[in-house]
Structure 1
Amino acid sequence: MKNTVPLFIFILSILGCDHKAKNSNQNIISSDIANFWNAYDLIVATNDSIMQYKYLDSLYIQKGTLGLKGIMKARNYSQQDYIDAINSYPKFWKSIRENTLKTDAYVSELNSGIERIKKVYPELKPAKIYFTIGALRTPGTTIDSLVLIGSELAMTDGNTVSSEFQGDIQRGRRIYFDSNPIDNLVLLNVHEYVHTQQKPVVNNLLSYVLHEGIAEFVSVTALGVPSSAPAIEYGKQNEAVKTKFENELFFGYNRHEWLWSDYKNEFNVRDLGYYIGYQIAEINYNKAEDKQAAIKEMIELDYTNESQVEDFVDRTHFFSKPLEVMYEDFDKSRPTVLKIKQFENNSTMVNPETKEITVEFSEPLNGLNTSVDFGELGAESFPKVTDRFWEPGNQAWTLVVSLEPNKHYQILISNNFRTEKGIPLKPFLIEFQTTK
């Protein structure tokens, strides 16, 4: 009998350690959701803003998982964003609460989905899935090896209330809710899981649409289900989507028109960039003799390697021309700066009493979009600007300046200037030096 109690304690300690180990290795974590609702109940029960922030911080943010910290960083969520969202949309929050508490019911399906990815991509690296509550900016994103689910959007359905949102946001939310996102929760998670395996994108539209389209294609291929993104089916049936994308591929300012936005376009379908990337991935896959090798190539595509990306796209013959030819055509179509009215560019003899600098363009621009920036010499070489205005006809634009004697100046006229069709200006560096 002397050894019974110590032996019993020893067994319990082993079991306890094993339980903790299993929890620490858990791939799907949802504790942030319960924490959010605990904080929410106290926040909505008081009008004291100080206490609202205190409850949010102590009961939700401070108790948050790596996933919560990750999604707050990825979408730049502040405490004010959360408090504003909670106070502004009470009917919305009430309508989603029950759904967000159902995560345990999806654990088996999610794990099965991950195993299916591994079958088509045996090199799959482990990642963790975090169900969090965000402030209405994303249903899902990733940071490194973390899948971050914004459950307040990802777990909505046709019963979710959208009436408290305004304008185009309400329209976009209603369309999204009516598509029953919760029914596609496993597909969303698998899509984001694939993102954790991909290489980082570079900052251009083609990279973004390939990154998203590949993740979607790999996901639906692994799961054997159709995509839940309306953009993909719509794009397949409407050649005009591809034509528009070809015309706008190199604009450089229009990501929101193709991805991750409720921006209203002529097709009334959001995120059409998903279709572009998906279709390129699908064509490559269908042409490949070795399907598993094709999946591997897609997932491991190096977006910093221009020749690799160009080959991946061009061999599909999806676009009407090779990417290089498309860029050459685009570059030829761009407006340019013809001259500066008051002096020759690169002059070293500019009168410091000059009060205006007028830039003349090769064709009329839209009279709306403008932007100037520092040159490589930085802010110290940028003149003091007191006003700026378009000349009649929008083929010239004037800066009202105050110059100093014997000083070197630089002004970068950026590609944010555009024609009526949206074609961006070729950037132009104004550089000059004033006399003594």
Structure 2
Amino acid sequence: MLKQIYLSLLLLFSTCGFAQNIQSRKADSLYAVKSYIAAGRYYLLAAGTDEFKSLKRNEYYNAACCYALSGKADSAMFLLKKAVEYGYKDGAHLKVDTDLDALHSMPEWATLVARIGNIKASTNDPLKAKLVTTDIKNFWKAYDLAHQDTANRLAIYKKYYVEPGTVGLQDYFAIKVGSVKKFVQTHDSKPKFYAAIRKNTFMVESQKPQMIASFVKLKQLYQAANFPDVYFVIGAFTSGGTSTESGLLIGLDQGVRTSDIPVTELTLWQNNNFNNLSNLPNTIAHELIHFNQNGMKRDTSLLCGVMIEGMADFIGELISGNNANPRLHVWAKGKEKQIWADFEKEMYLKRSYNWIANSKQETADKPADLGYWVGYQICKAYYDKSVDKAKAVNDMLNIKDYKAFYQESGAHMLFTNAAN
């Protein structure tokens, strides 16, 4: 069983995902037909061309699996250590991955398993989670150097921003950006915008009390909650936030709006999703809920998709005091009945692309991502009718039957008699 790097449940319904190069896709095909030696070689080729450490660690792990299955235990152990060197830390998966059974008798196995087991990506103490802003400082250093030597700006961003980047930056770029070239192209197209946001990107620390207060509130509502570090990065305006096993990853360039920032270079969707700086704690609260959705059963239905996103908005609002996507609620007012009718036509189908991460469908008359609003209403209905609020939160974060939850919430009756 190949180890694909952990993604937030959010990514099941996102247009973004860990980028795969040609060699990696070829390796997957060879693995599927049990041509393990050839697959391993292609994974190593992929590792040599991948730009981000998050991708390299995946390739090295997969190569280790292939070499182990081919009876080359020494090579497999060497590659597994390379995966750990590049940030692999899923000890639970390592122990049950039968592809690596051939390594269990090696002296290094127990040491490696123990080493990974001691790597903690999160804590159950909300006060111990860290806000990591190293990448912001590195970005502005690279930014200044790149503007002094524009002909070499791609190489400069690689050397001073991406390569020394935190594990959070590596994951974010692999999931949400795709390549350094795309990153540079985005920045080239928005010079006034990026020049103007500098001062706001250094204001994260001033909002730390509100962020930590949200973490503490979640602990009060949900004792099983885990609290990862929060990484702030400058991306390519593709995502305000996501989460991986490494922590919460915040695209700060999408969340530092103040009235003095020029927005003429932004598209309609970008402008509508350029969030206020004061809303940053709410975005982080939203992503914190995603990080704690491991107990939920996954499927590809629209209902599951809106529940995942709407729940992050709803519980995020409970713990932070404000909604991460307020514009959707403003737009939906007076249109609830029609939205719900449209949703129920597709709720059990694989139609998340019409409701979530559908930025290309954004128009001046209708926003994208209305699935967030729908899921919020379902969760709110369930919570409001529950006597035990902590149990209601626990039920949400551990849903196994979405249809039953939907029926029990009574959300389908909310707007039946609405005038619109």
TM-score (norm 2): 0.63
State the match for 2:257 in structure 1: 156
Q: Counterparts of 1:247-266 in structure 2 under 5 Å?
A: 247-250=345-348, 252-253=350-351, 255-259=353-357, 261-264=359-362
> What amino acid is the match of 1:62?
E
State the match for 2:186 in structure 1: 85
Q: Counterparts of 1:144-183 in structure 2 under 5 Å?
A: 144=245, 146-165=247-266, 170-177=267-274, 180-183=275-278
State the match for 2:317 in structure 1: 220
1:70 lines up with 2:165 in the alignment? no
1:211 Cα deviation (Å)? 0.4
Q: Given the alignment, which residue of 339, 353, 366 partners 1:241?
A: 339
State the match for 2:292 in structure 1: 197
> What amino acid is the match of 1:182?
L
* Structure 1 contact 213–276 (Cα < 8 Å) conserved: yes
Unaligned segments of structure 2, at least 5 residues: 1-127, 415-420
State the match for 1:325 in structure 2: none
1:265 Cα deviation (Å)? 5.6
* Structure 1 contact 217–282 (Cα < 8 Å) conserved: yes
The structure carrying a bigger strand percent of its residues is 1
Looking at structure 2, the residues matched to 123 and 254 of structure 1 have their Cα atoms a distance apart, in angstroms, of 29
Looking at structure 1, the residues matched to 214 and 253 of structure 2 have their Cα atoms a distance apart, in angstroms, of 22
State the match for 1:369 in structure 2: none
Looking at structure 2, the residues matched to 158 and 250 of structure 1 have their Cα atoms a distance apart, in angstroms, of 42
Task: Name the CA shift for 1:174/1:159 in 2 (closer, same or farther; >3 Å).
Answer: farther
For residues 60-92 of structure 1, give each alpha carbon's deviation from its aligned partner in whole angstroms, at most 9, with x where no partner exists.
011100110111122142110111112221001
State the match for 1:136 in structure 2: 237
3-state SS, counterpart of residue 149 of structure 1: strand
* Structure 1 contact 136–153 (Cα < 8 Å) conserved: yes
1:276 lines up with 2:377 in the alignment? no
3-state SS, counterpart of residue 315 of structure 2: helix
For residues 26-68 of structure 1, give each alpha carbon's deviation from its aligned partner in whole angstroms, at most 9, with x where no partner exists.
51101100101111111122231xx212211110011100110
State the match for 2:119 in structure 1: none
Looking at structure 2, the residues matched to 148 and 256 of structure 1 have their Cα atoms a distance apart, in angstroms, of 25
> Percent identity of the aligned residues?
26
**Matched length:** 284
* Structure 1 contact 32–131 (Cα < 8 Å) conserved: yes
Looking at structure 1, the residues matched to 319 and 402 of structure 2 have their Cα atoms a distance apart, in angstroms, of 23
Task: Name the CA shift for 1:260/1:161 in 2 (closer, same or farther; >3 Å).
Answer: farther
Task: Name the CA shift for 1:244/1:210 in 2 (closer, same or farther; >3 Å).
Answer: same
Task: Name the CA shift for 1:260/1:197 in 2 (closer, same or farther; >3 Å).
Answer: farther
1:204 Cα deviation (Å)? 2.8
Between 1 and 2, higher relative CO (CA 8 Å, sep ≥ 6) is seen in: 2
TM-score (norm 1): 0.61
3-state SS, counterpart of residue 222 of structure 1: helix
Looking at structure 2, the residues matched to 260 and 184 of structure 1 have their Cα atoms a distance apart, in angstroms, of 22
1:228 Cα deviation (Å)? 4.1
> What amino acid is the match of 2:214?
G
State the match for 2:61 in structure 1: none
Looking at structure 1, the residues matched to 375 and 253 of structure 2 have their Cα atoms a distance apart, in angstroms, of 27
Q: Counterparts of 1:20-419 in structure 2 under 5 Å?
A: 27-48=130-151, 51-144=152-245, 146-165=247-266, 170-177=267-274, 180-199=275-294, 201-226=298-323, 228-238=325-335, 239-250=337-348, 252-253=350-351, 255-259=353-357, 261-264=359-362, 267-302=365-400, 308-319=401-412
1:146 Cα deviation (Å)? 0.8
Task: Name the CA shift for 1:266/1:245 in 2 (closer, same or farther; >3 Å).
Answer: farther
3-state SS, counterpart of residue 91 of structure 1: helix
1:246 Cα deviation (Å)? 1.5
Q: Single out whichever of 235-244 and 287-296 deviates more from structure 2.
A: 235-244
Task: Name the CA shift for 1:124/1:258 in 2 (closer, same or farther; >3 Å).
Answer: closer
